[in-house]
Structure 1
């Protein structure tokens, strides 16, 4: 009996028995949790596959855009960046070279007043004045006074610098978007007034008229850096044709070509726009990469390896497993409406597939030649509604569209996860009750042992008292 007591008293041993029995009863819950883990892995894998397919479809959408020039990119350059720099040739429909001569850059209209002593008061002596200023279709009359209130509230004359500051403020407040005015410190106390148009070229030219009083004293002696407004426009010649523009950035002289005039030239500078084979090859590589990423993700998540007895989370979804095989077979088809002498298959530009579904360039020379000499046909191969590319897109979209194949599969997985959640919760409640029942049983057993031990101690005490 002592050995039984020792067994139950040592560190509350009945609790470990309760835990062991509960663990044995947890096998069903663990089975459900393993099933739930597998279903969650399937849902994650379906999300990965859906994302990869969507990227593949988006890449095709990008190439099917009529404005996309990925297969016909133009590389632009200038033989003298100090004269003209190239901005873009996104709308240029063919490679070309142009000779440009820049005779004059577009400039802002600038008027300069006379240099005067800023601390003198000769402007104020001319009294308040006004002037009418016109820029483009905007005409306003500006008026200023030449006196201010001092700290004692007495009206006093403003010095020349203060008068010019008031005039500059009036111009900025009235013509802030069209022109600005400044008063510059030339040297010592000498200042000079300046008006500058915000827009270059003849469109930004300004005129001052009808000046009276102090503003006649300021504006009548003003000189223009470019006296003739017409000479504010840029003037340049492209292949013998002369152009005038109000801005130095030009995008309407040659359709699809944008460039910026940087300086005058004494002779011709060449602007070149040629096929960019490196960029067009990158376009093809981007398309292949989007397909191969999708192919890899699908294969990694749906594989079955009988040798190692390992399987991907989507192993049971045949539609997913077969997608890349179906796309590979479709990718080898011909464009139904293609003319006999035009490119109609991926294989005709050197692109094929390996046994694992990977898209590869099988003939580099054939691809480079097609990109160099037949880029329009490659673009048509991607944009044609009945091409292999369009059919691959349709097949792929069936998986990712709303209510499509992946959506249906995810819905089924969600239902299974929900049912497993219910079963796991039910098992957890059962185990909680089971654990409490076992603990109650062992507690009763402990009480019996404690009672037996107490009786044993009383018997032993009695025996000792009577001499046994």
Structure 2
């Protein structure tokens, strides 16, 4: 007889027994999964520590830069220019009068064309632009010698130093050529534009192209109306300064001026440069925060909950302790030839119970104000905190470094666990299939036996009844 469900024929809970066997066998998978989860937690924890070390390394590197110390802030009365300063600048005040802004040269064709697509030559042409004594040529194919094609060819070569466009003036011949030098100042102005046939043996008529774009600053002719380029001019403490650009660097050492408008005649603006210790203070506090964050993360990842009797991802991990101790040692190993030998002397103390750094901002401000060079030596010197901390941090986070090697090993372990899980799962599936087949056979056999038993019982009962009838 057909068996629709295991155990029906035998009258036994074979399905439940199979489920119980599966649950028992799956314990091996659960153990592998638990171990994989633990290993994955270690991998994630190493990634967190690495990110924190990199943040500390970045903060330490900032303390090794010259511009972090002795920075200056700028202040300008008026809106004729803006200014920025580097640490090379000298604190003080400067009287600055912008007398002229730099501008670009523009050349506008004196007459327009009715058709911007009309070919102007019966062959290809070479158009040469001379700017600042350098000549560069753009070649225009025969089928592109229209006003539109010439503009496209000019704009297609970024090295020419000039941009072209077409202006529609609304007249009967509205299309006019406008050329603009890409840079400001007299040296960036177009000196000449010459036209020649690309193939000199072909007898190409280039007169209309010459009439459109030919130009010589020494003899302007009538092709273009020019708005001449001009240099920026200004007075710095009554000293005349001239520039090709409206951005002027190092006219005052370490200062960049960006001119925006001309001053009223005889009414200069005042540029003030004053010390900006906040740059150093911010860098120091950023470093302290990054250091404390790293120490706090390591403490959390290596802690042990006594009440719950449960560890964290890196409880007892030697690499985490190595990071913690070497980072701390880097602070103590730093050396300085200045007045400050330790950070505590400038207001940065270490809590002996947890190793956390604390900043006394008033004491730090006083150190920055009166002993900036000594602060710089401790942080940015050859054997200073920046160099020591960056060296230690790099050993942990660089490619092929300590953490990289550890994570590679963990990744390999996870791959092995995955293979082990899959092979164990396959083994369990095969075993359960064997159990299922055996139970099916048992169920079928029991069903047959029950059927025979019922038949015999029925026959014996009938024989007993026959005897009674006699």
Q: What CA deviation, in whole Å up to 9, does each residue of 1:10-34 have, x standing for no partner?
A: 9973022022123224434433332
Query: 1:241 aligns to what?
Result: 239
> Is the Cα contact below 8 Å between 1:71 and 1:283 reproduced in 2?
no
Q: Aligned to 1:450, which of 447, 450, 465? A: 447
Unaligned runs of at least 5 residues, structure 1 = 120-130, 143-161
Residues 100-151 of structure 1, C-alpha deviations (whole Å, 9 max, x = no match): 111222223345676x7978xxxxxxxxxxx998542146999xxxxxxxxx
In structure 2, the gaps of 5 or more residues are: 115-126, 139-144, 196-205, 215-219, 466-470
| CA displacement 1:188-208 (0-9 Å, x = unmatched) | 548787654443222134456
Q: TM-score when scaled to structure 1?
A: 0.74
1:144-188 per-residue CA deviation (whole Å, 9 max, x = no partner) reads xxxxxxxxxxxxxxxxxx999999899889998344567755575
Residues 6 and 439, structure 2, Cα contact 8 Å, conserved in 1? no
Find the partner of 1:89 among 68, 82, 85. 85
Partner of 1:253: 251
Asked if structure 1 preserves the Cα contact closer than 8 Å seen for 2:336 and 2:383, the reply is yes
Matched, 1:438 2:435: yes
CA contact (8 A) 1:336 1:386 kept: yes
Match of 1:60 in 2: 60
SS at match of 1:323: helix
1:206-249 deviation per Cα after TM superposition (whole angstroms, max 9, x unaligned)? 456999999799953566555xx7xx222111112111112211
2-side partners of 1:460 and 1:163: how far apart? Answer: 114
CA distance in 1, matches of 2:344, 2:301: 28
Counterpart Cα distance in 1 of 2:347 and 2:179: 64
Report the CA distance between 1:454 and its aligned residue: 0.9
Select between 98-107 and 317-326 the one with higher mean Cα deviation: 317-326
Aligned equivalents of 1:448, 1:455: Cα separation in 2: 11
User: Map of 1:43-54 to 2, 5 A cutoff?
Assistant: 43-54=43-54
Q: 1:466 to 1:408 in 2, by over 3 A?
A: same
Partner of 1:281: 281
Q: 1:334 to 1:97 in 2, by over 3 A?
A: farther
- Using a 3 Å threshold, how does the CA distance of structure 1 residues 379 and 430 change in structure 2: closer, same or farther? same
Determine if contact 1:179/1:197 at 8 Å carries over to the other structure: yes
- Residue number in structure 2 paired with 1:79: 77
Give the structure 1 partner of residue 468 of structure 2: none
Q: 1:113–1:53: structure 2 CA closer, same or farther, 3 Å change rule?
A: closer
What does residue 157 of structure 1 align with? none
Query: Structure 2 vs 1, CA of residues 275 and 190 (structure 1 numbering), >3 Å: closer, same or farther?
Result: farther
Whole-angstrom CA distance in 1 between matches of 2:207 and 2:413: 91
Partner residue, 1:347: 344
Q: 1:328 to 1:461 in 2, by over 3 A?
A: same
TM-score (norm 2): 0.73
SS at match of 2:67: coil
Structure 1 residues 425 and 174, CA gap change in structure 2 (3 angstroms): closer
Residue 154 of structure 1 corresponds to which residue in structure 2? none
Provide the alpha-carbon RMSD of the alignment.
4.4
CA distance in 2, matches of 1:438, 1:106: 92
Distance 1:190 1:441, change over 3 A: closer
Taking a change above 3 Å as real, the CA distance of residues 337 and 281 of structure 1, as seen in their structure-2 partners, is: closer
C-alpha change, 1:163 and 1:314, in structure 2 (3 Å) is closer
Question: Would you say 1:177 and 2:176 are equivalent positions?
Answer: no
**Residue in 2 that maps onto 1:150:** none
Q: Across the two proteins, how many residue pairs are aligned to each other?
A: 424
User: 1:73, CA displacement in angstroms?
Assistant: 3.3
Q: SS of the counterpart of 1:386?
A: coil
Distance in 2 separating the partners of 1:164 and 1:429 = 76
